[in-house]
Amino acid sequence: MTTSSTPQIDQRQVIADRIKKFVQDGLNRPLSEDDPEVFYPSSDGEPLAESDLQFTPLTETVHVLRQRYRERSDVYVAGNLLVYYRMNDNEVRVAPDVMVVFGVEDYPRDSYIVWREDGKVPDFVMEIASPSTYSRDMTEKRDVYAGLGVSEYWRFDPTGKLFTPALEGDRLVDGKYQVIQVGEDDDGVLRGHSDILELDVCVRPELELKLYDPAAGTWLRNLDEAEDALAETARQNEAQAARIRELEALLAQQGIEPPTQPA
């Protein structure tokens, strides 16, 4: 008796392919079909973050990336902004926690409507996981971002309990996501490299999300760190000025005219 086996169908891939087709069908419609009467809300009624565990890395990463590209008018960085990708359908949308788009004008937007941006989709997306969102981040959203053509999709678990390791990344290759290697360095820092940003995406042992510039050999500073650095520079400048005044006073006591300071 001969038996034949049917190749097992990867149901996850079937779903992913269907979502990709749905996304691409929505993007491929001609601009002439864009109905100006359709309203695209700037809010979906969902909170920015469930707790400080999500809020802090979300807002700090957006700030750091905006500072990184502040001199470039062709880079747009946003956080928790609704992205609409199916023409004339304001129910089909996704809201990345962090996104970076290269090649579009940098100005404040209420929402990001892909076909009105010459079809330019985000190049970099990161989701900050929470207990209620992480499962969707790993499945449906991953499929949507792949279908859109988002070059890199990263996920960070600020709780350290939802997935292991706490940092994951995918890079789009031939229309499908391939895992970005993430490993722990000698200091216990989880580290993966973002080709699109030319930065290392890192998670310190205390579950702090950070970005590192390997070319400069420096960490990108968040707002508190930048303010601390400015305060330290001001303190050092004042200390130097006080020392100069002391030296000038000593010279004056000896009847020596202090050298003229350059203008």
How much is the pLDDT for 236? 66
Task: Reduce the DSSP state of residue 146 to 3 states and report it.
Answer: helix
pLDDT tens track for 79-136: 999 999 999 999 999 999 999 999 999 999 999 999 999 999 999 999 999 999 999 9
Q: What percent of the chain has pLDDT over 90?
A: 70
Nearest to 94 by CA among 62, 117, 65, 127: 127
Matching residue, tokens 């203008």:
263
Query: How many Cβ atoms from other residues are within 10 Å of residue 208's Cβ?
Result: 14
Q: Is 106 exposed, middle or buried (0-12, 13-18, 19+ CB in 10 A)?
A: middle
Distance CA 41, CA 156 (A): 27
- Over residues 249-263, mean pLDDT: 72
* Predicted structure pTM score: 0.82
Q: What percent of the chain has pLDDT over 70?
A: 87
How much is the pLDDT for 254? 79
pLDDT tens track for 162-207: 999 999 999 999 999 999 999 999 999 999 999 999 999 999 999 9
Residue 262 pLDDT class (50, 70, 90 cuts): low
Distance CA 238, CA 229 (A): 14
Residue 247 pLDDT class (50, 70, 90 cuts): confident
pLDDT of 46 > 80? The answer is no
Q: Is the Cβ–Cβ distance between 134 and 157 less than 8 Å?
A: yes
Distance CA 229, CA 223 (A): 10
User: Does domain 11-220 sit in CATH 3.40.50.450?
Assistant: no
Q: State how far the alpha carbon of 25 is from the alpha carbons of 22, 45, 87, 141, 147, in Å.
A: 5, 27, 10, 17, 10
Please state the domain extents for the chain.
11-220, 221-254
pLDDT tens track for 51-76: 889 999 999 999 999 999 999 999 99
Query: How many Cβ atoms from other residues are within 10 Å of residue 164's Cβ?
Result: 9
